[in-house]
Amino acid sequence: MALSLADMTEFSDRVESVSISGIREVFEAAGDDAINLGLGQPDFAAPAHAREAAAEAIREGLADGYTENKGMASLRKAIADKHARDQGVDVDPANVIATAGGSEALHVVMEAHLDPGDEVLIPDPGFVSYDALTRLAGGTPVPVPLRDDLTLDPDAVEAAITDDTVAFVVNSPGNPTGAVSPPEDVREFARIADDHDVLCVSDEVYEYTVFDGEFRSPLEFADRDNVVVVNSASKLYSMTGWRLGWVTGGPERVERMLRVHQYAQACAAAPSQFAAEAALTGPQDLVSEMTDSFRRRRDLVVEGLRNIGLDVPTPGGAFYCMPEVPDGFVGACLDRGVVVVPGEAFGDAGRGKARLSYATDEESLEAALDVMSDAYDAVTR
């Protein structure tokens, strides 16, 4: 006999406060032959040496059991060496946790630091998980609108801090904007965390995809243990399906985050750990190949959108752009077989905008621009 909702056990207020991502709703509404500019996934194969490292570990029976909760020591050393190589930051491998992608890394950060009612300042528009994971941990997300160039303003962050603020999130290069924070802003984020004794959560998963400006991490400028870094092989090495990320911070923070991770996950998947270690320590040719390709695609898309008549800040990194669009534009694109994501899926300040991912081939991008031009004409004439 089927039970009605009234007959079922009630659900937590935390889970009722979130819903399925608006991105997924757009995907499900699209046809099978649609050009998908909504998916944040590089269209490159993972490095061959990374795939082979996982395959060899499986063949040799090395990936059959649990690893350490934090992840294999050799992987954590590779991650620490990566931070030394790329940021000149001394990270103790003991202070690294390998996670099931950057998403789990964000989750353990929130669970380890938030009590009910604690506030987390998040960029608006910003990655959808910041709001949802804050709520699922019992916290209260506080949106901070971005500047006109879609970067996060340190002054706006500092002005939004209250007695209830526990953390703020920085994401550069950013999703959904592609914006890259200038070094002086990143230095300010570290200062704000130290001066106000709040946690700066730096989401650095698009670190390698920078076209204009330079990537800098708040970890470089922090004087106290008030920065945690979330990163992932997903976008750095086109390994989204491998679900291998990491989080690093001071030892006391890592110990608390490990408590969450060990009960929720035990350890990241062993084959993925072998693959990520190989990606981090092996040839880095794919990084420059991807960056050069995404730069060409960015230029193609930005020029095309402006020729259509849309106003779009030039993204400095990642593989997203966020043009201002007229009412009905997203639906008109979807009706014509091009998937773009409405800006409000990323926060109230995203209304009147749309997010486009150009992580697809140039031929498809050119075809999509033709369709978007037709959609624009249809809703503006």
Q: Which CATH architecture has domain 48-281?
A: 3-Layer(aba) Sandwich (3.40)
Q: What is the pLDDT of residue 14?
A: 85
User: Can you tell me the distance from the alpha carbon of 211 to that of 296, in angstroms, rounded to the nearest whole number?
Assistant: 10
Q: What is the pLDDT of residue 39?
A: 85
Q: Are 91 and 202 in contact (CB under 8 A)?
A: no
Fold (CATH) for 13-46+285-380: Aspartate Aminotransferase, domain 1 (3.90.1150)
Per-10-residue mean pLDDT for the chain, 381 residues long? 65 83 61 86 96 98 98 98 96 98 98 97 98 97 98 98 98 98 98 98 98 97 95 98 98 98 97 98 97 98 98 98 98 95 96 97 97 97 85
Radius of gyration of the chain (CA): 21
Q: What is the pLDDT of residue 381?
A: 85
CA dist 346 → 2, 120, 181, 373 (Å): 36, 16, 18, 24
Q: What is the pLDDT of residue 1?
A: 52
User: Can you tell me the distance from the alpha carbon of 212 to that of 67, in angstroms, rounded to the nearest whole number?
Assistant: 39
User: Can you tell me the distance from the alpha carbon of 82 to that of 63, in angstroms, rounded to the nearest whole number?
Assistant: 23
Q: What is the pLDDT of residue 15?
A: 86
Q: What is the pLDDT of residue 19?
A: 76
Q: Say if pTM beats, i.e. exceeds, 0.85.
A: yes
Q: What is the pLDDT of residue 29?
A: 62
What's the per-residue H, E or C state across the chain? CCCCHHHCCCCCHHHHCCCCCHHHHHHHHCCCCCEECCCCCCCCCCCHHHHHHHHHHHHCCCCCCCCCCCCCHHHHHHHHHHHHHHHCCCCCHHHEEEECHHHHHHHHHHHHHCCCCCEEEEEECCCHHHHHHHHHCCCEEEEEECCCCCCCCHHHHHHHCCCCEEEEEEECCCCCCCCCCCHHHHHHHHHHHHHHCCEEEEECCCCCCECCCCCCCHHHCCCCCCEEEEEEHHHHCCCHHHCCEEEECCHHHHHHHHHHHHHHCCCCCHHHHHHHHHHHHCCCHHHHHHHHHHHHHHHHHHHHHHHHCCECCCCCECCEECCECCCCHHHHHHHCCEECEEHHHHCHHHCCEEEEECCCCHHHHHHHHHHHHHHHHHHHC
Domain spans of the chain, in order of start? 13-46+285-380, 48-281
